[in-house]
Structure 1
Amino acid sequence: MKSTQLPVNEYASFYAPYINALGEVDLIEELEIALHDFIRFVQNIPMDKFDYRYAEGKWDIKEIIQHVIDTERIFAYRALRISRNDKTPLPGFEENEYIENTAANKRSIQDLLTEFSAVRHSNLFLFKSFSEEQLKRIGIASNVAVSVRAIGFIMIGHPKHHLKIFQERYL
């Protein structure tokens, strides 16, 4: 499925910038391509920028990468539950509390990128396993309706959103 074919009623409007910024991409292909693009971009960031914060209280690049990993895991869990026709409304999460409870800025960039790669590869297998019917299933997450396939596109758009922030505010 292409991102441009995704009906807007399958995701909350606050996810629209993530999905709209993708252009016309295939879900499965782009899950893999975007992983490599993210890793390549981060590997080219100068070492002295990884602990930089553009303002007090803002996350550094390592913390943002940890946030991307945590969010990807949460999105995958949501996709799995919804794909299995679980009708339980799924809660949101407080991203700032998650980061406060990590040691992301004490980790190496390579360690963080290796973890992100492992998580994304696992999710690639998960999304390849879904039938067309499962991809179209809609559940409730963070108090809004979302389809499994929309979650996949959001998983692609979220790291891309943060790469744009890296470019604009960190480099």
Structure 2
Amino acid sequence: MSDTKTDLDIPGLDTPRLYNSELIYQAWRDAVTANVTGPSPQVVSQLTDLKYIIRAPIGNSGTLATMRDVLLSQGVPRNQLDNRGVTVKRTFDDPSSDEFKMLMGTVNGRPIGRLCADHTESLDGKQVLKIHVWNEFMATFGALIFELGEERASTKLEREENTRRKVPE
């Protein structure tokens, strides 16, 4: 939802507040329609091309703390995260993992899940397949890149089974 402390209400006009996910979607839709000429099907085709949603720079302390906890859980040394100017990048691609769920549960992640759920048809059923994390995108600010795809992300067990099948015996 929008920040009610900074919103201005127009007297006598009931204006519903939009979710952040809706604002992101409308910005994407408007960018596509502004840059695509031709028949309507071409616009729809372009809407489904959304591949990455970049949330940066992130200054929200809760999201930054979650990103830090997730990176620490992956064995990133604390001193590396504390050292300004050292950028640590990790990718999470198992939607059943605690780390994936933690990142999707942040104020920067929830709108992306909602966007995919609310606009399933126009995004051709895309879901978040991977989350790329940068602890320091800019000094004191992090970044999350949500990678969307049409296929369901595989679980850790499914990835292990596929790896075993590929190994020649």
Q: Which has the larger radius of gyration?
A: 2
After TM superposition, the score normalised by the length of structure 1 is 0.25
Q: Of the two structures, which has the highest relative contact order with CA contacts closer than 8 Å and spacing of 6 or more?
A: 1
After TM superposition, the score normalised by the length of structure 2 is 0.25
Structure (1 or 2) with the greater helix fraction: 1
